[in-house]
Structure 1
Amino acid sequence: MSRWFGAVPLSVIALAVAVVPADAAPLLSRDPVAVVYARDHALHTANGGATDDDLQARTTKLAASAWGFFRGTSPLFYRDLGELAPSAYATAAGDVWITGDAHLENTGADKGADGTAQFQLTDTDDAWRGSWTWELRREAVSVVLAERANGRSAAKITTDLNTLVAEYAQWIGKFHGTDDELTYRLTASTSSDLTEELIDKAAGDKRSDLLAKWTSGGAFKSDPQLQAVSAATRADVVAAVAAYRTTASAPLTAQAATVKDVRRRLGAGTGSLGRYRWYALVEGPTTSNADDVLLELKQEVDPAPKPLAPTATSLTGGQRPALAMRWLVNQSDPLAGWASVGATPVLVREKSPFAEDLSIDDLDSSAVWDDSVRDVARLLAAAHSRADQDIAGTGLGYSADAAIDGAITSVSGLQAETRAFATGYADQVTSDWQAYVAAKNAGRPLF
């Protein structure tokens, strides 16, 4: 890898970070539109054009804002990491399991497997084994872009980046030498005001509300976001659910997994738009419609970090994100598992009635920003510390928290490095987004 950050030494950027303007010259010379096109065109080709409606919707979401562009282009981020200077703190830690797509809105509240509402990481589609610094950097870039979108000053952004890194390092240190990460979770009694509010909402949500939104009488309602499927696709989904049910950590019985109805879900997500996403309504514990379960079957592709460590794990398809979810998130969805719909590998998980996602629009004061950044840092530290020698199957024969703790030889140094990277790369994202908007407006093919 290059030891240079674009055309400027990392040490120089660290000195200049406080005065880098939002419209600074891009750090990389590649064509971002071409990189995004290649990924999306591959989906167009793989799915035979059947998901082009969602790919078209994706272009609108990516063009809407620099924040939306960043959310939906994790492969571009990891492509760039291969060219930019690696972290000075990365080498001693080896690799750990990472979510692969860390950003603020990939956190939220839900009920854990034991029924307790908690604040947690919510997306493992891009989970892979790699450097913890990749994940910390991506989260830091998300903080910069979200705060810029909310009009916060450079000084406040600097404060929150420092908080993110310091809190992450502090909790890595706390987990080092203990097994506390295996049971650590953020509940209403251990989280900040905003995340506690989300947790309280999740605790008060009802299954009947979700079912009323999407279903009636044991079948899906007519809805523009739910597309009818062919008999052949329905048969493939039914077969997938039958194969999946025993892969869940809390396996469904054959009766509970009886498929009552199937639809293709349109318009969901940002980074995953253009992938197949099916909803399967299954019987649930009893024959009553009131306890039906809504399963989501999402097409899986190679995760964004894989090109940086192509042989880090042999896990593929839906098995990779399903197992990563169990390893990275305490009390995660017990119905998460995997299968294939026809030849399409899918992650299967419950469409939770209790999910309450974090939105950057909710981060409306310095106090809320500070607390929320701390909570997110704790989640990342716990996740990276969990998925190691303490859990069978991870492939890691060492303590991840010990390795990371040993690698962080200077918290202030890691803060300075992370600030420089996050601020500089946020400028790059803004430039890339502007290029994408220009290409879209010019009618350039985007998938």
Structure 2
Amino acid sequence: MRRTTVGILAVVTLLATAAPGEAAGLTRDPVAVVYDRDHALHVLNAGATDDELTLRTQTLASSAWAFFRGTSPLYYRDLGELPKSGYATAAGDVWLTGDAHLENTGADRGADNEEQFAINDTDDAWRGSWTWELRREAVSIVLAGRANGRSASQIATDVDTFVAEYAQWIAKFHGTGDEASWRLTSSTTSDLVGDLIDRSAGDKRADLVAKWTTGGHFKADPELQTVSSATRTQLVDAVAAYRTTAGRPLKTSEAVVKDVRRRTGAGTGSLGRFRWYVLVEGDTTSSSDDRILELKQEVDPAPKQLAPNATTLTGGQRPALALRWLANQSDPLAGWASVGSTPVLVKEKSPFAEDLEIGDLTSSAVWDDTVRDVGRLLAAAHSRADQDIPGTGLAYSADAAIDGAITSVSGLQSETRAFATSYADQVTADWHAYVAAKNSGRPLF
């Protein structure tokens, strides 16, 4: 395979020699950056989601991992000041998930009813450099490894394995065009990912319906809040408008709204946004096959600040279409609408979802297999959403562009490892600053 070394030593050295806790070149107060984002949500929602914003401050303060998960806008803001990758300029922009990290992957039932392991969050989907996403995933590997007590050398190996796997599969997709049909199923993976797929296969729709509902209505639950009659009307109207935007449009009989609630306490990065559950009629009139639709408020995605004009897609349409483009056999019910003036992404609350959790990464063998699988998922996602799919806006082969940009796998490994280690130090320092601000009573939204 064609690979040569490029001159990126200056970039790697600059990141690798940054002072502990300081990524080179950053000039910002991380608490102020996070405050600005969260205060904007407070204003946008007129204080109606302040309960969620309060929970968000507690979640962000709980660990460096949680802080990283919940502050993707800070990461992309920082990329604007940090040295660019030495591999970024040779490739055009591609579609990104926007918030790559280990826990934004999981097992679920595909649109063809086969269980698979896939990316599961496109709220921050946008077009930009593939290196932004590769680096963010690598930072997540470092932070998760530290949280799990892995040594520096083990973490370095994990990052190198992830980068090499990504580059290898980009080259494979460039050479074959298999990205359109490729996926991770029980027959193509093992260990933790295989276990998640097996658990997904054992899940039943009736169990999820019974967890949240009884007799065709939502149960009383502290995480499910009743809504006003006006909001209920808006949600009914939203489901009616959404019905035909789904990848598999719902029949009118499948979009009959039986009950609605505001869902609280879910997510990390999305805490502070409106999230509603809507119970709709299933394939039959029996309540056991009802579906729960999740309507999540959408705001500008984090990478947009680096490429404000990369696409004209907005609101819930952007993440819904991105999910179809980035993940093979993704949720066929993903679509979009507005609840009043609030744009929302609509997806089914899947009965079959089994998310990856970093606490499940219990051995080096499991780490190795998992970072390889995540590298493959990211390579497939970046390769899929290009000229081969109408509507993406890309008039070229994304995998060919990325493969052409990776002129040295070892060089990309070295650069990414240095960046991820340095930025993970920065995240930890930022988290400590956030905790100190919270403990001092500083307003955080």
State the TM-score, normalized to the length of structure 1. 0.96
Q: Tell me how far apart the structure 2 counterparts of residues 131 and 13 of structure 1 sit (CA, whole Å).
A: 21
Q: Tell me how far apart the structure 2 counterparts of residues 408 and 281 of structure 1 sit (CA, whole Å).
A: 47
Counterpart position of 1:382: 380
Counterpart position of 1:169: 167
Counterpart position of 1:125: 123
Q: Tell me how far apart the structure 2 counterparts of residues 420 and 14 of structure 1 sit (CA, whole Å).
A: 6
Look up the SS of the partner of 1:164 in the other structure. helix
Counterpart position of 1:361: 359
Q: Identify the match of residue 244 of structure 2 among 246, 271, 275.
A: 246
User: Alpha-carbon deviation of 1:12?
Assistant: 2.1
Counterpart position of 1:159: 157
Counterpart position of 2:81: 83
CA deviations over 1:121-150 (Å, ceiling 9, x no partner) = 010000000000000000000000000011
User: Alpha-carbon deviation of 1:10?
Assistant: 2.6
**Equivalence map 1:293-332=2 (5 Å):** 293-332=291-330
Q: Where do 5+ consecutive residues of structure 1 fail to align?
A: none
Q: Given that residues 296 and 344 in structure 2 are in contact (C-alpha distance below 8 angstroms), is that contact kept between their aligned partners in structure 1?
A: yes
Q: Given that residues 14 and 419 in structure 1 are in contact (C-alpha distance below 8 angstroms), is that contact kept between their aligned partners in structure 2?
A: no
Counterpart position of 1:95: 93
**Equivalence map 1:99-118=2 (5 Å):** 99-118=97-116
Q: Percent identity?
A: 76
1:412 aligns to 2:410 (yes or no) = yes
Q: Given that residues 14 and 416 in structure 1 are in contact (C-alpha distance below 8 angstroms), is that contact kept between their aligned partners in structure 2?
A: no
User: Alpha-carbon deviation of 1:24?
Assistant: 3.6
Coordinate RMSD, CA, aligned? 1.4
Counterpart position of 1:187: 185
Q: Given that residues 16 and 422 in structure 2 are in contact (C-alpha distance below 8 angstroms), is that contact kept between their aligned partners in structure 1?
A: no
For 2:163, the aligned partner's letter is: V
Q: Tell me how far apart the structure 2 counterparts of residues 363 and 417 of structure 1 sit (CA, whole Å).
A: 25
User: Alpha-carbon deviation of 1:287?
Assistant: 1.1
Q: Tell me how far apart the structure 1 counterparts of residues 239 and 346 of structure 2 sit (CA, whole Å).
A: 8
Q: Tell me how far apart the structure 2 counterparts of residues 87 and 14 of structure 1 sit (CA, whole Å).
A: 11
Q: Tell me how far apart the structure 1 counterparts of residues 229 and 108 of structure 2 sit (CA, whole Å).
A: 34
Q: Assess, with a 3 A threshold, how the Cα gap between structure 1 residues 345 and 14 changes in structure 2: closer, same or farther.
A: closer
CA deviations over 1:351-376 (Å, ceiling 9, x no partner) = 00000000000001100000000000
Q: Identify the match of residue 62 of structure 2 among 53, 64, 67.
A: 64
Q: Identify the match of residue 262 of structure 1 among 260, 283, 289.
A: 260
CA deviations over 1:272-309 (Å, ceiling 9, x no partner) = 00000000000021111011000000000000000110
Q: Tell me how far apart the structure 1 counterparts of residues 300 and 21 of structure 2 sit (CA, whole Å).
A: 32
Q: Tell me how far apart the structure 2 counterparts of residues 15 and 36 of structure 1 sit (CA, whole Å).
A: 26
Q: Assess, with a 3 A threshold, how the Cα gap between structure 1 residues 443 and 115 changes in structure 2: closer, same or farther.
A: same
User: Alpha-carbon deviation of 1:11?
Assistant: 3.6
Q: Assess, with a 3 A threshold, how the Cα gap between structure 1 residues 166 and 206 changes in structure 2: closer, same or farther.
A: same
Q: Tell me how far apart the structure 1 counterparts of residues 21 and 43 of structure 2 sit (CA, whole Å).
A: 36
Structure 1's consecutive aligned runs of 4 or more residues displaced over 4 angstroms after TM superposition are: 13-16
Q: Tell me how far apart the structure 1 counterparts of residues 337 and 354 of structure 2 sit (CA, whole Å).
A: 26
Q: Tell me how far apart the structure 2 counterparts of residues 402 and 61 of structure 1 sit (CA, whole Å).
A: 40
Q: Where do 5+ consecutive residues of structure 2 fail to align?
A: 1-7
Q: Tell me which moved more, 221-230 or 247-256.
A: 247-256
**Equivalence map 1:50-61=2 (5 Å):** 50-61=48-59
Q: Given that residues 210 and 288 in structure 2 are in contact (C-alpha distance below 8 angstroms), is that contact kept between their aligned partners in structure 1?
A: no
For 2:13, the aligned partner's letter is: V
User: Alpha-carbon deviation of 1:60?
Assistant: 0.5
Counterpart position of 1:35: 33
Look up the SS of the partner of 1:123 in the other structure. coil
1:12 aligns to 2:10 (yes or no) = no
State the TM-score, normalized to the length of structure 2. 0.97
CA deviations over 1:34-90 (Å, ceiling 9, x no partner) = 000000000000000000000000000000000000000000000000000010101
Counterpart position of 1:443: 441
Q: Tell me which moved more, 294-303 or 247-256.
A: 247-256
Look up the SS of the partner of 1:91 in the other structure. coil
**Equivalence map 1:394-413=2 (5 Å):** 394-413=392-411
For 2:338, the aligned partner's letter is: S
Look up the SS of the partner of 1:108 in the other structure. strand
**Equivalence map 1:141-152=2 (5 Å):** 141-152=139-150
Q: Assess, with a 3 A threshold, how the Cα gap between structure 1 residues 26 and 309 changes in structure 2: closer, same or farther.
A: closer
Q: Tell me how far apart the structure 1 counterparts of residues 98 and 363 of structure 2 sit (CA, whole Å).
A: 28
What is the total number of aligned residue pairs between the two structures?
A: 437
Q: Tell me how far apart the structure 1 counterparts of residues 54 and 162 of structure 2 sit (CA, whole Å).
A: 35
Q: Tell me how far apart the structure 2 counterparts of residues 386 and 32 of structure 1 sit (CA, whole Å).
A: 34
CA deviations over 1:391-414 (Å, ceiling 9, x no partner) = 111000100000000000000000
User: Alpha-carbon deviation of 1:29?
Assistant: 3.0
Q: Given that residues 67 and 431 in structure 2 are in contact (C-alpha distance below 8 angstroms), is that contact kept between their aligned partners in structure 1?
A: yes
Q: Given that residues 15 and 422 in structure 2 are in contact (C-alpha distance below 8 angstroms), is that contact kept between their aligned partners in structure 1?
A: no
For 1:258, the aligned partner's letter is: V
Q: Assess, with a 3 A threshold, how the Cα gap between structure 1 residues 185 and 430 changes in structure 2: closer, same or farther.
A: same
User: Alpha-carbon deviation of 1:187?
Assistant: 0.3
Q: Given that residues 95 and 128 in structure 2 are in contact (C-alpha distance below 8 angstroms), is that contact kept between their aligned partners in structure 1?
A: yes
User: Alpha-carbon deviation of 1:212?
Assistant: 0.8
Q: Identify the match of residue 424 of structure 1 among 422, 425, 436.
A: 422
CA deviations over 1:140-198 (Å, ceiling 9, x no partner) = 00000000011110100110110011000000000003220000000011012100000
Q: Tell me how far apart the structure 2 counterparts of residues 434 and 9 of structure 1 sit (CA, whole Å).
A: 29
